[in-house]
Amino acid sequence: MKKKENIFNKTLESFNDSNFKKIFKDPLGLMGFLLILSLILVAIFAPIIAPYSPSDIDISNRLNSPSSNHWFGTDNLGRDVFSRLVYGSRIALTVPILTISFGIILAIILGLIAGYSSERVGNSFLILFDIIKSFPALLFAMTIIALTGSNLFVLIIIIGITRFPAYARLIRAQTLRVKGKEYVIAAKAIGASVFKIMYKHILPNVIGPIFIQAAMDIPVVITFVAALSFLGLGVPPPTPSWGTIIKTGYSFIRIAPWMVIFGGLVLIWATLGFTLFGEALRDNLDPRLNRQR
């Protein structure tokens, strides 16, 4: 008997194997992949890599410049900046993944409904997506978080909401393309429920481009979270996050510039890695999204 396929296997199959290999032949794609891989390893093995606990306060060693004891120096509470950056990679990776997953789930539900229902209903959904897109994302997030207080849950919901319209539009457009196909009509003819048609027949065929868009969005969300944390509205202390470290560094920029420099380098490492990899993914897997060649 044939193994039951789930959506994700199907999607991965639709990405041709040889195309996947092409990403790693593309030197920029490979570089992006290595940057991401190293980051993931750092996040997983943080307790082994970090020489100190990220939250150990040592006032007698506050604002020490980089030395053999503290490679990246210490912050205003004497905490080891290197260890904090190492642990910060955990937040930097998990928050964007959760955020984008939430955005995609929201987009799948609303995008499928918008694409599958009548033109009038579909158009009102489009207007809803446009309204949400017309909010300046950062100002919007700043306001809501200032009202609710910053915690990770709110952060993920808010950023997810600001990101989802782009995916939802993509899913709607793909659904419109697919819904007139013979297999959907056939499924209808044998009496499949709307939910089953959407989940089993439409979704697997529309979700591919979303993954590429999502990969390209990861650096955007990493930046967004860091920017909010920089403003004191993102990841709440004492959780180590890159944005918060850069924020502290900014306050002491004249006497302790190492926090800004190393915090900045780590942030660029992540955004550059995901940008390079995302673009290689787009260029090699989806020629339709490739406009810049």
- Among 188, 223, 236, 239, indicate the residue that binds other proteins (CB under 8 A): 223
What tokens were used for 11?
Answer: 């999607």
| Of residues 49 and 63, the one with the C-beta less far from other proteins | 63
- In the complex, the smallest distance separating the C-beta of residue 136 from other proteins, rounded to whole angstroms, is 5
Look at residues 166, 258, 260, 170 and name the one whose alpha carbon lies nearest to residue 209.
Answer: 170
Q: φ and ψ at 80, to 5 degrees?
A: -75, 120
The answer to whether 65 contacts other proteins (rule: CB under 8 A) is no
- In the complex, the smallest distance separating the C-beta of residue 289 from other proteins, rounded to whole angstroms, is 14
Q: φ and ψ at 242, to 5 degrees?
A: -60, -40
Kindly report whether the peptide bond that precedes residue 238 is cis, defined as omega within 30 degrees of 0: yes
Q: Which stretch binds other proteins (CB under 8 A): 69-77, 98-106, 202-210, 253-261?
A: 253-261
The answer to whether 246 contacts other proteins (rule: CB under 8 A) is yes
Q: Judge contact between 160 and 113, C-beta under 8 A.
A: no
The answer to whether 226 contacts other proteins (rule: CB under 8 A) is yes
Q: What does each C-alpha distance from 106 to 34, 171, 172, 211, 285 come to in angstroms?
A: 31, 11, 12, 14, 24
Binding track, positions 170-189, relative to other proteins; x by CB under 8 A: --------------------
The answer to whether 267 contacts other proteins (rule: CB under 8 A) is yes
| Of residues 135 and 199, the one with the C-beta less far from other proteins | 135
* 188 vs 195: CA distance, rounded Å: 11
Give the total residue count for the chain: 293
- In the complex, the smallest distance separating the C-beta of residue 219 from other proteins, rounded to whole angstroms, is 6
Give the interface size with other proteins as a residue count (CB under 8 A).
45
Look at residues 228, 206, 45, 58 and name the one whose alpha carbon lies nearest to residue 140.
Answer: 228
Amino acid type, 186 = A
The answer to whether 166 contacts other proteins (rule: CB under 8 A) is no
Q: Which stretch binds other proteins (CB under 8 A): 56-64, 109-117, 192-200, 229-237?
A: 229-237
The answer to whether 121 contacts other proteins (rule: CB under 8 A) is no
What share of residues in the chain are helix, strand, coil (percent, to 5)?
Answer: 75, 0, 25
Q: Which stretch binds other proteins (CB under 8 A): 55-63, 69-77, 139-147, 180-188?
A: 139-147
Q: Which stretch binds other proteins (CB under 8 A): 16-24, 109-117, 210-218, 266-274?
A: 266-274
- In the complex, the smallest distance separating the C-beta of residue 211 from other proteins, rounded to whole angstroms, is 20
Look at residues 122, 126, 120, 115 and name the one whose alpha carbon lies nearest to residue 181.
Answer: 115
- Among 77, 227, 239, 289, indicate the residue that binds other proteins (CB under 8 A): 227
Question: How deeply is 134 buried, as exposed, middle or buried, from its count of CB atoms within 10 A (0-12, 13-18, 19+)?
Answer: exposed
Residues that bind other proteins (CB under 8 A): 28, 127-128, 130-132, 134-140, 142-144, 146-148, 219, 223, 226-227, 230-231, 233, 246, 249-250, 253-254, 257, 260-261, 264, 267-268, 271-272, 275-276, 279, 291-293
